[in-house]
Structure 1
Amino acid sequence: MPSKPAPIKKAAGKEPAKKQEAAPEPAPEAAPEPAPAEAAPEAAPAEAEAAPAEAAPAEGEAPAAPPAEEPKPPTPPPADAAAPATEETPAAAATEAPTDAAAPATEETPATAEAPADAAAPEETPAAPAEAPADAAAAPAAEEAAAVSEAPADAEAAEAAPEEPKPPTPPPPPPKEPTSAPLDLFVEDKNDTSVSIIWSQPEIVGHSGLDGYTIEVCKDGTEDWKAVNEELQKSCRYVIKNQTTGDRLKIRVVAVNAGGRSPPVALPEAVLVKEVADRPKVRLPRFLRQRYVANVGAKINLTIPFTGKPKPVVTWTKNGQPLDTKRVNIRSSDRDSILFIRTAEREDSGVYEMCVKVEDFDDKASLILQIVELPGPPASVKIVDTWGFNVALEWTPPTDNGNTEITGYTIQKADKKTGDWFTVLEHYHRLNATISDLIMGNTYKFKVFSENKCGISEDATIAKEEAKILKTGIEYKPPEYKEHDFSEPPKFTTNLTDRATTVGYSTKLLCSVRGSPKPKVQWMKNQMIIGDDPKYRQICVQGICSLEIRRPGNFDGGVYSCKAKNDHGEATVSCKLEVKQPAVPDAEKK
């Protein structure tokens, strides 16, 4: 057991003298640099008998300097972790007196070999630099030094050290969950070595947010999924590069956040890595975007252009079924397709659809073809009522409308006496009509035509009944008159006159006659009946009688007579015709 430290009273008389002899001048500026914390145990006294240690310094006090055989530079005392930094003074060469337990720990006094440092003279002690660090490694060094000096630590001082308050425990964070699957994944574009895809953000992102996306691919027929992006993709568009031409790839996208991976969204079909230079597109002409109407028997020749590269595959259907090649011919080139029908029939009407396809891309266009003709007549026409000067008609639509809607009707009437048909209504849209302004006492017939885009029906339907407009009110009785007898014998009202003509020039003889009944006229020359001689032309119209002599000759002159005869008598008139020779100039006679 180490010996008790000597009481402080024994050295009370010697303390002032030794202080005066051994106290050096304070030199705060030339204070030696503190030694590392590991040097403290070496400077401590090894023998407990030569230097009985005082009790271990309490918290906030510095340990006393141990005696040494040779003078050494002062070492900084170990600083307690809870105590503030203290000041040290270099120890004397041979210090045998322990430090007073009641002395303050902040200052040390240099002493001789037998004089203990009194705590009552702190002002004579040079102050060590205040910046001596209280390193965490100095605490174990102080404890080791205290153990070597065999000084028991003050238990009460250790218990008086304050404990550091602990921070409050934070609440546990909410559980992190992955997002829902991304939406609307589809191929935006592709070529020989890459595929461009696009998608939409997940519907449910959650509190953890969204870190990015992972794009994974594998060849068709396998399940060896591999990520193609090293870092998470932030945007919703990605180009999968460096692929082999001709491969079929299955593609899927996974959203990633702090909660992990979301369910994947995958393309419905594998994508063929192959360039599509130009997507197919049908350029349907404007006039074919509506219903195309043609007449029966017409020639149909429709050209529909399209684009696409490489050459698209063109297919046609009619009402969803393949075309009848016996009726419809299709001729396709690199730029257009022609639909040709030599002679159109009503059975050719329908919805024709054209489809152009390049790899996985296609485009379609539809056109409606309608083949029409003239309609048939109305199914029936009847007279419903007759009153005053009016007739009410009704009819029914035709059984054959010509493959198009009926646009109107045409109604005609005819008087039974004359039989001539007249139009009374046209482009009439209703199935009944009233015909007015008819003539009293006449009997009428009626017929109706149908009309569509092609025109009016060739035939009409005639009503079986007839409409007779009866007289109303007073019955008319015509007066009775004695019939007058207008018969009389022929009588010439204009006589023939003598005429002269030149050879070769035609001439006419004129006269007029009346009689009842109409008399028969006969021409004579020199009392000889002319008859049907082609040299003469005989005309008698409305009692005017004429005889034309065509190119008369020298022997055509004479007496001409006109004789008229009926049942009541006869009459005759005559004239003389002279035919002269043309005059010849004297020069021609010589």
Structure 2
Amino acid sequence: DSPGTPDATDVDGESITINWAPPTHDAPSNISMPIKCAEPTEVPDAPSIVNVTDTTNTSVSLEWTRPAHDGGMEIHGYIIEMCKGSEAEWHRVNEDLCAVTRYSVTGLETGAEYKFRICAVNSVGKGEAKEMPEFAQAVDRLLAPEIDIDASFKQTHIVKSGGSVCIHIGFKGKPTPTASWTKVDGELGVMTDITTTETFTALTLENCTRNDTGKYTLTLENSSGNKSITVAVKVLDTPGVPGALSIKEVTRGALTIAWEPPTNDGGARVHHYTVEKREASRRTWTEAAPKTTQTSLRVSDLLEGVPYFFRVMAENQYGLGEAYEMPDPVIATAEPAPPKRVDIIDTTDTSATLACGRPAPKRNTILWVRENKIPCFECYYKVEGLVEGLEYQFRVYAMNSAGLSKASEASKRAVAQNPVGKYITIKK
């Protein structure tokens, strides 16, 4: 084993007496105990490298390496000296020893050139100086913005709904860059907080929702250039609103409803959709049909002639999302068939009286005459405003809440004139 801790028991001007305890366990043979001592009688070596890390119009920042040999004892600090231009005289810069291996020399003349040298000091004294090989000029350095991140930086941040995200990015640049944050394809939320200093900027999103999902871009800019970086944020939440609804294949008491998937799925796959309905006269929503994994659904058992509202919601593993509700009600009624025929049963010099066949018109029927929409709720209609002597033909459309029918066959031609002594046969 090793001996006990040595202790100096007697010291004079030329010698030191040292005592120590023997090892607890010795070896089978005799033990040899060499004694080593270090005599701190040397000054430290010079630093091996001196670099200029930055300059302004009144300062120069220096950095250097520790000496390879400290002279056998602790280095107390460093002395920095400088020489202006071609002058031969060196001046000490720091009154007190510099305890670290970097120093900023201030109060320099703008545009002037300087040389610097550094030496280390221990208890024995001042070591040899290391001189810079080239002059350093006191001028403002221009440096384009640089992103200062390491391997641990996350390019994508994932957070649960209600949590928070902080994106911290360091940067460099001369002059100090301005930092601006934007959200790609969107605007920053009201709960967004931005903190920026001369060396870093941080974007914090508090109480995150699915609306905070997206890409965020930091842009750094100064007079020397610009630099950008984009970071993704993914919020795990319920899905957003599905796309607009459309109604297809309307028949009596049934219809097909279709929609687009939500643009924001809440960070998880949509499992299925829920479609609900309510009569326009009621406030209560009920399921229109069983849940579906498709983006369309056939809804049946609707009351004919009753207007209904519909809404659709997407659901993922985090729950049921927001609903898209139709702004206007829809009636599950088929479009009417076109009238079978239209006959001219009477004329004057300025009018014609028409009779249309089946389907028999009910309320909301529309009669189209000469490209003008005129409501008609009977099987007969008198068209006014004709020009005497001109020949006319007519056709009729039927309309209900589901839409407009195709046109009937055109009537026979008739001239706008008074039928004096003439009779018109009405075919049944």
TM-score by length of 1: 0.22
Higher strand share: 2
Larger RCO: 1 or 2 (CA < 8 Å, sep 6+): 2
TM-score by length of 2: 0.29
